[in-house]
Chains A and B, each alone.
Chain A
Amino acid sequence: MQFWRKPLDADKIKVPHGEIHIVRDRCKGCGFCVEYCPKDVLVLSEEFNTKGYHPPEAVKADDCVHCQLCEMLCPEFAIFVTLKDEESVEA
């Protein structure tokens, strides 16, 4: 993340990083997670799952900030995020 100066609360705030887990065969390809990911981490893949849908894949997995929006929005319980690490804010 880029800042024009060091944020005043930089010593308190840590930027979390998430690890995305996709249960591919449970996905029905609705695209909610792809549409609403605030960091545009996900895209619908070209591949099919066993049901014939296109599950999402994480193309920019390093950008995930563990907001868990995809996990909450997914109607199929097919995607979830675990906290990988937290990074200190640097200017």
Chain B
Amino acid sequence: MATKNNNVPEHPMERLLRMDRIPHIWCPTCGIGTAVSCFISAIDKFKHPHEKIAVVSGIGCTGRVAGYIKLDSFHTTHGRAIPFATGLKLANPDLKVVVFSGDGDLISIGGNHFIHAARRNTDITVVCVNNFIYAMTGGQCAPTTPLTANSSTTPYGNHERPFNLPLLASSCGAVYVARWTSLHIRRLTNSMHEALNKPGFSFVEVVAPCSTLYARRNRLGTGLDLLKFYHDSSEICHGADPTELDIAFQDKIKVGKFIDRERPTFIDAWNDNMKKKFGDKFDPYGEKKAKKAA
């Protein structure tokens, strides 16, 4: 292990963090840091050269992740993490592209891109940190805010039905869908590792506490109290029907791996279609480079 001055060993995650940017901007007891720890552990387990992994984030608290991880990373405009990642993957099929962003970015402004990437089964891994609120802009009601929850734009309680993210992803065609809270660190790490290994659109939702806005506005205490709440009220239901995975305000959270299926990815479907049409005249896309390397 590398040592710095005073013979104190370096934190094992420092190898994959841009240490000039640490300490990060996230509030005390925020869950995003834990999700990043799990992601770094999953990358460590994932047998793939680090120079062939790219991380893309959008805007928001979770959008800062791309700036903190020492991999090829890009901080895109609001909601456009998935289109950027799609382009990255299609232009360079050797890359393993991970989108790491928040619920407001991926599901609200980027919701259209999300459903179409899942429909096409673009080969990307999406990690969505769901803190139930627009945290960076001041706690506005997000499309994931549970019914009756207070936010700065719903001071009398939210009346809009929230998205059920695993149902959204699975109904649009994602091949891997899992949900964990930021307390389920080992299971979350395993899920991220499985999602990275899965060809196609894999989706991992991380329920994370937002202490400064969601917890404070709803008088739920600190992030630590929310972790205790997750401990008491999360229930592991592997393979559960995604239609039953709605999250009500301070109610049971069903977590687990819900979907794990096979579908041809976007590039595979294109190659198959063109091969059928043109036969041997067609040079399959994405396999050229692999052949050259061999």
Contacts and interface: CB of A to CB of B under 8 A. Distances in A.
Interface string B1-15: 100000011011110
Interface in A42-82: 53, 69, 71-78, 80, 82
B139 interface: no
A31 interface: yes
Contacts of B13: 77, 80
Interface in A24-40: 26, 28-32, 35-36
Given A74-B37, A76-B23, A76-B33, 6 more contacts: A72-B34, A72-B37, A72-B185, A73-B34, A75-B31, A75-B32
B71 to A, nearest CB: 16
Contacts of B27: 28
Interface of A: 21, 23, 26, 28-32, 35-36, 53, 69, 71-78, 80, 82
20 contacts: A21-B11, A28-B27, A28-B28, A30-B28, A30-B222, A30-B223, A32-B223, A35-B224, A36-B227, A72-B34, A72-B41, A72-B185, A74-B33, A75-B30, A75-B32, A76-B33, A77-B22, A77-B33, A80-B9, A82-B9
Contacts of B11: 21, 23, 77-78, 80
Contacts of A35: 224, 227-228
Interface residues of B, number: 33
A45 B92 CA distance: 50
Contacts, number: 71
Most buried by B among A21, A30, A73, A80: A30
A53 B29 CA distance: 12
Contact of A21 (B9, B26, B224): B9
